[in-house]
Amino acid sequence: MDLPVIDTPVFPRWVWMEEITYSHIPIATLVTAFMLLAPLFEYIGYRRKDLRWERLAKSFIWFSLILFSPGAALGTGIPMFIIGTYPEFWSRWANLFYWPLIVQFGFFLAEVFFLFFFYYLTWDAWQNRKKLHITMGVIAAFFGYMVQVVWDSLGAYMLTPGNTPLPQVTEPVAWSLPAMLNPSFPFLLSHRTFGNFSYVLLLTGGVFALRYRGQKRKDPNSENTTYFRWASQTCFLIGFFAFFAQPIIGWFYARVIQREAPAAFLAIMGGHSNIYFIIKMSLILFLLVVGGTFVVKRHGSKKVMWGATAGLLVVLLVVWLHPPLMWLAGSAVLWRLVSTAVILGLIGWLWWQRGTGNPERNAWQWAMFAVGLAAFFTFAMGGFVREHSKSPDTVYGEIVKPEQTQEEADRYLVYTKWLEPRGLYPSRLDEPPPEGWRQAVQTARDEGVVELTDDEAQRIIGFLEENHP
């Protein structure tokens, strides 16, 4: 259906789309993580009779309530923007998920109701009814998490629709269980859940570290100084170890993408999204080196050391199981050997640094904050890579974006009809065959290696000759 598309000023519409979503998503994920953690931390404080945990939990909820208004306002603006700039996508996508969108609105209202009236406002009044109060926090967190469940399901569908096609505007569907339970949904949900915990706690630990630094300069013996020191190091430690769930989940997630969205997988593994994936991996390396060094300097017990060692060995296992990232001379063996050397070297470095130096130095407080920022940008870059990899599709294999260029369409064809059937990575495109691309494509067609129409063959040849001479 020919729906009117509104042009955006100054920047392309995808830039505006990224800007408005990345103004909302960090707020939403931070609020959700705080809501899930607050009743847990309050319960720990209740069981241990340690008021520091309760103070930390209450600060999470207080900050969440501050963020609710801007988060909700930005969330309301996102569909308004999409309706004008991606009208066909919105009409078909909202048609498929109409009732889930309505239900998540109900979850949101229940979340706000329980969070504000039965959790935050009753905090002091129900000091003697702690179990009831914690229960209200769990209920609020449940509804908040269900909002994330719905949106992660809908977002996962955009990359892995599976066998559920996107309906036309004139085909009312309202909701589809197979679409919601699409192939990548459980992996995206679990990946983002642990990612939220990790980045939020690392960033919170970094912010508290700067608060501790400021309080220490004012009054090194005050109660606030002691609290911020404890809060920063506790949040940072939990956030650091929460990260190690990510590589395991990410490996399964990558396998699903490779099977269900091969063009997107190739875009990440050396294609047009590869540079952003490299940035993400660099941020993770910074997080592990600097964050790990602080953790073992501050918490040098054998339990922490063996935990960090086990986590890094898990990362190493994923490196060997995951399809190789062909960044080093296009060699899978070289990539794995270098990665192994780096990870084993990091393990040795952490054991060497165990309990040494002075983690109370001001430089380490700033380092904790830098690691928190790195964790946040790793989270943000992961979402960007996922969305960018399926370009020019808005929903993978179902609908393209209005501003699709011929080059993007031809590149997609190269991924799906030339590379993927032959089991090749985009890095191989930088090695033109001696006989030239035209002859190579024709030979592959003649031998039945690829199945191409004459038009597809000409488009692939033109793209390869122009971009990979």
pLDDT for 459 equals 94
pLDDT for 75 equals 84
> Are both 118 and 226 inside the same structural domain?
no
pLDDT for 1 equals 55
What is the CATH number for 447?
1.10.760
Nearest to 202 by CA among 310, 294, 304: 294
Query: Is 259 a member of any domain?
Result: yes
> Are both 236 and 302 inside the same structural domain?
yes
Query: Is 137 a member of any domain?
Result: yes
pLDDT for 330 equals 63
User: Containing domain of residue 418, as a range?
Assistant: 401-467
Overall number of domains in the chain:
3
pLDDT for 96 equals 94
pLDDT for 338 equals 87
Task: Name the stretches of the chain with pLDDT < 70.
Answer: 1, 326-330
pLDDT for 286 equals 96
pLDDT for 328 equals 60
Query: Is 198 a member of any domain?
Result: no
> Are both 153 and 221 inside the same structural domain?
no
> Are both 434 and 462 inside the same structural domain?
yes
Query: Is 249 a member of any domain?
Result: yes
pLDDT for 327 equals 65
